[in-house]
Amino acid sequence: MTTGSPAAQATPAASDNRRNDIQGLRAVAVGFVVAFHAGLPVPGGFVGVDVFFVISGFVITAMLAREWVRTQTLRFSTFYARRFRRLTPALALLVGSVVVMSALIQSPMGEQQIAAKTGLGALLLIANVVIARTTGGYFDAPAETNPLLNTWSLSVEEQFYLVFPLILYVGWRLARRFSARWVPVALVGGIAGVSFAIAMLEASGHRIPLMPTVLGGFYGPVSRAWEFAAGALLALLAARIEPVITRAVGTVLASLGIIGLAASLVLVSAETVWPGPMTILPVVSTMLLLVGGYAQATLPSRVLGTRPLVAIGNLSYSWYLWHWPFIVFALALWPTTPGIALAAAIASLVPSILSYRWVEQPIRGLRDVGRARMTRIVSLTMIPPIALAGGLWIAADQGFWNPRVQQFVASVAPMHAGNKAGCNESIAPSDRKASVCVWNADGAGTPVYLIGDSHADHFSEAVIAATGATDSPLTIATANACPFYDVHLRSAAAPRSPCRQFVQKTLAWLDQQPPGIVLIGTSAVYWNSRVYSAGATAAAVTNEPAAKRAALQAGLQSTVEQLQASGHRVVLIQDVPFFASPYASNPQRFSVLDIASGRDLGEQMPQDIADRNQRVARSAVTAVADATGASVLDLRPELCPAGQCSTQLDGVYLYRDDGHISVGADALLGTAFERALKGR
């Protein structure tokens, strides 16, 4: 084949030998991610994953292009076997090790099940789907305890590997048949454009018709494909780009790339919608560094190609795998130890080096691997961790066949009645059948409506008991992460939240209902968390603390006034005590060994500390009540007897996680709600 052929045009000459600057760039990427997870002041460190995506698109496309030039075809079985040997053995070792550690350290009330499910998902290339459905958003609290959270990006990358070689193969075949060298570039460019458009539409709050949710968003391969494609396009156009990259041009481009990546660390944060417009910054910066690297004599390329960075780049896959489980388990064992996350991240270099030396390198270096030998490798790699993960899942669900564990889990783990009935799904009562989420429908007493977020839902059993005692019909309508305030709320973790629609529709529905008692329960988290922004209008939404708090208070007051105008009596429920560090209320910090030991697992905290933690929210609720004449129900007397807030009373553990009370706790609160309904 002549050098002017389409395939030759797609092959970067400099890629015939390994580029040390790319290894150094991998070191930068993994350093970003590790620093972010270790709690260092790099709010945008998670962009390191986006850097990896671009590098992968570039390197894999260049490798496939060389094979096409050499053989005029792609051997898919060889490619997939090579990818398996490169990635899966180290991943399998990690999953098996994490599952064993989870069994010893984590809670059987969801943490172990999630770790097991994520491990199975990682091995089956769908960890991103499993994590989205079990753990939630990347920046949500549950993500902090999933020791395999980081495997989401590996599954996205492997999904890319499954599909992309076929796309290139089709492009090159068409290019050869029709003598149209532009076909592969156009095909990949078209995919990049569609993916980019989807990502930007989702970032602006639009839902893509007919596209499953798991394919988009933070974890979605469709909304991430443009990042891979960006690197792939560079590889496809390498023969045109490389000759014009002089040392001076390469220095400028690479320097701009370094500046862009550095800027990403500080301009991007957990509040940034991701992927979104700001994702362009690290993606383009990585592209500039890859292009600038064609002129290998530049200072940036020489720095990236230094021996320490290349060494870290060689370890980047293993370190990426091991650092996050080490951090999760270290925080579980020593939650109050200063710097423990950073120490764990550094300590994870030990298994990373061992895995690289004794697992990654020997297996990826195998030659003449026939079908029979490959079958043995796949079996020995996959069966042990799958068996361990499946075993942990079953054992955790069965309480490890230990009566103490089973009893504790049964009293703490169950979801509340409203949630189990499907009443905590952001669906307004007007969008349901009339009989759904209604208790004691034939009651002769004053109608009662329990409205709010999950911190209203967690009072379900207590309110059901209270309305049973007063013979009142009860309707429950709640929505996660959605305060029942007449305000525009935005969450970085859920930019497409249906909260505003839920509030408006529910207010309109309540306006048409018989006058009754509306119980509003809402978490105090919105007032201080940087994840949430609020404003009187969509244009006025802000994260500035004073303005946000003013908007939230005005929104709550507006809600109360609208309900009162509809003839309802409003009861505002103060949030339950939050046990901030060094105190802890989350029973999921208890391992199987802790629970099985039978020791007292209770925690106590002075009430004044609990009040101080929630001062802003509590003051706002009181101020709104004073301004509107609404009632306030404060459950401190029940949960904080004698001025001491407790996580365990009369043998009942009161919390099901770090913010929600347990079903067992509701049994202690029914009388307080009954008094509130009677106006006492």
Residue 580 lies in a domain: yes
Same domain, yes or no, for 90 and 238?
Answer: yes
Which band of pLDDT confidence, cut at 50, 70 and 90, is reported for residue 16?
Answer: very low
User: Which tens digits make up the pLDDT trace of 537-580?
Assistant: 999 999 999 999 999 999 999 999 999 999 999 999 999 999 87
Whether residue 566 is found in the same domain as residue 518:
yes
**pLDDT cut 70: percent of the chain above it:** 97
* pLDDT the model gives residue 13: 38
Over residues 639-655, the pLDDT tens digits come to 999 999 999 888 788 99
For residue 659, what is the enclosing H or E element? none
Where does the pLDDT of residue 443 fall: very low under 50, low under 70, confident under 90, or very high at 90 and above? very high
Cα distances from 631 to residues 539, 622, 675, in angstroms, run 32, 9, 12
Last residue of a domain, one of 397, 431, 455: 397
**Residues 381 and 435 placed together within one structural domain of the fold:** no
Of the residues 397, 426, 460, the one at which a domain ends:
397
Element (H, E) at 573: strand 569-573
pLDDT at 9: 33
Does the pLDDT value for residue 191 go beyond 60?
Answer: yes
Instruction: Report pLDDT for 141.
Output: 76
Average pLDDT over residues 606-614: 93
| Whether residue 36 is found in the same domain as residue 145 | yes
Q: CB–CB of 234/278 below 8 Å?
A: no
In this structure, is residue 322 part of a structural domain?
Answer: yes
Per-residue confidence at 657, pLDDT binned at 50, 70, 90? confident
pLDDT for 357 equals: 95
For residues 332 and 207, state if they share a domain. yes
Q: Which CATH number belongs to the domain containing residue 639 in this structure?
A: 3.40.50.1110
Q: Is there a domain that residue 412 lies in? A: no
Q: Is a pLDDT exceeding 90 seen at residue 4?
A: no
Residues 377 and 509 in one domain: no
For 90-146, the pLDDT digits (tens) are 999 999 999 999 999 999 988 999 999 999 999 999 999 999 999 888 888 788 999
Q: Is 478 part of any domain?
A: yes
In a domain, 406, yes or no: no
Name 453's Cβ contacts closer than 8 Å, sequence gap at least 6.
478, 479, 480, 481, 482, 483, 484, 521, 522, 523
Beta bridge partner(s), residue 517: 448, 569
Instruction: Assess whether 369 and 325 both reside in one domain.
Output: yes
Q: Are 173 and 308 in a shared domain?
A: yes
Q: What span, in angstroms and rounded, lies between the C-alpha atoms of 406 and 596? A: 9
* pLDDT value, residue 14: 38
- Residue 12 — pLDDT band, cuts 50, 70, 90? very low
pLDDT higher than 80, residue 10: no
pLDDT at 494: 66
Task: Based on the fold, state whether residues 446 and 551 are members of the same structural domain.
Answer: yes
pLDDT tens sequence across 152-172: 999 999 999 999 999 999 999
- The reply to whether 475 falls in a domain is yes
Convert the pLDDT of each residue in 308-318 to its tens digit.
999 999 999 99
- Number of domains comprising the chain: 2
Is 583:605 a contact under the CB 8 Å cutoff? yes
- Domain identity same for 142 and 279: yes
Answer yes or no: is 410 within a domain: no
pLDDT of residue 284: 97
Residue 616 has phi, psi (to 5 degrees) of -65, -50
- Pick from 366, 397, 428: which residue ends a domain? 397
Residue ranges making up the domain that contains 341: 6-397
Examine the domain organization and report whether 99 and 41 are in the same domain: yes
Do 375 and 506 reside in the same domain of the chain? no
Query: Average pLDDT, whole number, for the chain?
Result: 92
- Residue 402 belongs to a domain: no
Amino acid (1-letter code) at residue 351: P
